[in-house]
Amino acid sequence: MAEHQSGSLGGYTSTRRPVELVWSEWFQSITDAIGVERQIKGWSRAKKEALIAGAFNQLPELSKRRT
């Protein structure tokens, strides 16, 4: 978090400070964590907001394709 707040690493968060941690989860391995991070990055904003709010029951509905 400190590196993100300081902007020392550059990248996406360096120009969008201050940053706030809104969700976290512990994983057995870094590869598992990276996989989940990549998956969440592909989600819609609505689905991410439901995750942050802890509204896990909404996730399946928000995952459906809108055609």
Give the count of beta carbons closer than 10 Å to the beta carbon of residue 56. 9
pTM reported for the whole predicted model: 0.74
What residues does each domain of the chain span?
25-67
State the pLDDT at residue 62: 92
> Taking 70 as the threshold, does the pLDDT of residue 67 lie above it?
no
- pLDDT tens sequence across 25-64: 999 999 999 999 999 999 999 999 999 999 999 999 998 8
State the pLDDT at residue 3: 86
What b/e string do you get for 18-44 counting C-beta neighbours within 10 Å, with b at 16 or more? Answer: eeeeeeeeeeeeeeeeeeeeeeeeeee
Q: Please report, as a single letter, which amino acid is at residue 12.
A: Y
For residues 61 and 54, give the distance between their C-alpha atoms in angstroms, rounded to a whole number.
14
Q: Does an H or E element contain 57, and which?
A: none
